[in-house]
Amino acid sequence: MWTIAKLTFKEIVSKRIFLITMMMTAVFLILYGVAIHYAVKDWKSFGASTVDQMMQQQLFSSQLLSIGLYFSSFIVALLSILSSVSAIASEIDSHQIDTWLMRPITRTQFLFGKVIGLGGLLIAYAAFLFAGIIILHQGIGGEVVSLDFSISQIVSASATYMLQPLVLVTLGVMLSSRMTTLNAGIVLIILYGSAFIGGFVEQIGTIMEKGALVNIGIISSLIFPVDAMYRKMTVFLFDTADNPVSLAQQGMFASASAPNNVMILYTIMYGCIALAVAIILFRKRDV
Amino acid sequence: MNVMEAKGLTKTYNGQAGIRNVSLEIEEGMVYGFLGPNGAGKSTFVRTMLGLLNPTSGEGKILGKPIGTPESREKVGYLPELFRYPDWLTGRKLLESHAELCKVPIRERKKRIDEVVDLVGMTGRDKEKIKGYSKGMSQRIGLACALINDPKLIFLDEPTSALDPIGRKDVRDLMLHLKDQGKTIFLNSHLLNEVESVCDHVSIVHKSELIVQGKWRELMMVEAQVEIMSSAKAESTKLDFPDFVRNVERKEAVNGRSKALYQLKREEDIPRLVDFLANHKLPIYEVTPVIPHLEDVFMHWVNEKERRYVDHR
């Protein structure tokens, strides 16, 4: 299992797409840093003396951070989708899997190896991006836009943030153990897109107080809880969801409609079930 | 001891093709040829035995363990027909990964890798990435992979398909070397001369069915042929040959003596033919049994099977 995990990890790192992703990530972080730098510069010249202005500053600051985190979670999701949908299917297509599976390992061990390798790499990447965004925001932003976070806020927010690639990987591997790479990719992108749109619909529904829209968002979160985890992460990070003036409730990239804590448990169960189904499908499959 | 056995093993794809009802037993140290044209089901059988395909019915055992279990694959090597290895790895890293999966002790790994690399003639090239390997080199590193765990049973599926004549000879020599070491080899091939040169037992597969199996020397005797040199008189003599003579083919006369190739039903018919010719006052100078080509044997068994099928209908 660990041999397969190591090979999976090294394989992705050796691919050109990973190098390109890392370069683009660096470009994204630089741009984000530059944006924060100029935002702070403009804000300094404007100044913030009244309570209203200070609240505006806090809101503006949390929006900047939310945008950075939202886009970074989108990048992590794309990398998770692209790397997981081919994990099993492409190896079956190319018959590379034959010489691995004829070794004295079970298919479950092989599949776990794939999930651990992919999940490990994507968690490391997500942690790097999360830390990068927070450091840039707090560091470059300085006193003007930096927000007060406790360690527990950062830990719970980053853990929830890292749940997203894990769920995507388990579902991607599940689809890959049954479908071709292309089909699995299409299904997963549609699911991710639905969750993405559903998340926005839910936020709009909450702001407009339209129950039907909120329900659509909830259903999309139940079908694929990735966006819900992003929203939950913002609640953990800004930690004031019950507060009527909570920063977590402000703007489209935050969480006007806060997911319940049970949603985290649901997401973990979702990933576990996807993994169990993947094992059952892969055991039955002729390779 | 049976290293491998199959009882009524069947693998079909939605009821179509695959391999049907194969039963065979392979003893330790045997080089077993699984012979048949492309698409006959040879690879399907091997992949089912290795647990890559789930059998539709029947059962199989490798080294006493039921197929499909990791235990059955512990001491097995496999070179697939469609070999493809991760091209981002070097040959050596690939072997290290396989050694790790086979639980080759860490202390022995380097030595074992050096041994198999040398055995397949890849010394000096093993540290290069597989991406840069030719097809022949990939097949050689695949062979090294198959041998990394010092297997007792080695499945070779068309092992020379990508090799040049020198490479083919190397692989044949390697198979003989492994045979001398007491390894059991299951050779899938459609190349009759490859099977002929190394195998002592052969199965013939055709249209998803195992037609016949046995020691290939015995299978070869399906149609006895004998070349008889007689006087020139034989050419002009009209003889009414008995039933056991299936065909007579006249050969070029040598030194005023005639030569003919007789196809008989069985080997035991050779002395009967000699008696028959002697009774007809034909002087006999030379009697040479002719071993048929494997192609002829193969076609004989295929025709025999089809004849039986037609008779049965």
d(CA A126, CA A130): 6
Contact B263, B243 (CB under 8 A): no
Which ranges of A146-261 would DSSP assign to H, the alpha helix?
151-176, 181-208, 211-223, 226-238
Residues in A closer than 8 angstroms to B16, CB to CB, are none
- The closest CB to that of B74, out of A94, A100, A104, belongs to A104
Residue carrying structure tokens 């490798």: B62
Minimal C-alpha gap between A98 and chain B (Å): 7
Residue A255 has pLDDT above 70, yes or no: no
What's the mean per-residue pLDDT of chain B?
Answer: 86
Residue B169 has pLDDT above 90, yes or no: no
> Where is pLDDT greater, at A121 or B189?
A121
Q: Which run of H or E residues covers position B226?
A: strand B224-231
Residue carrying structure tokens 């049970």: A262
With CA atoms as reference, the chain A residue closest to B49 would be A102
Is B87 touching A (CB cutoff 8 A)? no
Is B74 touching A (CB cutoff 8 A)? yes
Is B50 touching A (CB cutoff 8 A)? yes
Contact A241, A253 (CB under 8 A): no
ipTM over 0.90: no
Contact B195, B202 (CB under 8 A): yes
Contact B22, B47 (CB under 8 A): no
Is B52 touching A (CB cutoff 8 A)? yes
What's the mean per-residue pLDDT of chain A?
Answer: 86
pLDDT band at A179 (very low <50, low <70, confident <90, very high): very high
Q: Which run of H or E residues covers position B16?
A: strand B16-27
Is A41 touching B (CB cutoff 8 A)? no
Residues in B closer than 8 angstroms to A4, CB to CB, are 101
The DSSP output letter for B243 is T
Cα torsion at B184, B188, B192, B196 (round to 10°)?
Answer: 0
**Section A139-168 average pLDDT:** 85
Contact B9, B55 (CB under 8 A): yes
A150 — phi, psi (to 5°)? -90, 165
Helix (H, G, I), strand (E, B) or coil at B284: strand
pLDDT band at A242 (very low <50, low <70, confident <90, very high): very low
Is B36 touching A (CB cutoff 8 A)? no
DSSP string, B121-144: T-TTTTTSBGGG--HHHHHHHHHH
Separation in Å, CA A52 to CA A66, A137, A138, A141, B298: 21, 22, 22, 20, 94
Residues in B closer than 8 angstroms to A284, CB to CB, are 54
Is A244 touching B (CB cutoff 8 A)? no
d(CA B297, CA B35): 11
With CA atoms as reference, the chain A residue closest to B145 would be A99
**Cα Rg, chain B, nearest whole Å:** 24
pLDDT band at B39 (very low <50, low <70, confident <90, very high): confident
Q: What is the pTM of this model?
A: 0.83
- Pairing assessment for the beta strands B57-62 and B65-66 based on DSSP bridges: antiparallel
Is A280 touching B (CB cutoff 8 A)? no
- Is the Cβ pair A98, B47 closer than 8 Å? yes
- Is the Cβ pair B101, A106 closer than 8 Å? no
Residue A241 has pLDDT above 50, yes or no: no
Minimal C-alpha gap between B71 and chain A (Å): 6
Q: Most confidently modeled of A15-19, A140-144, A258-262, A274-278? A: A274-278
Residue A53 has pLDDT above 80, yes or no: no
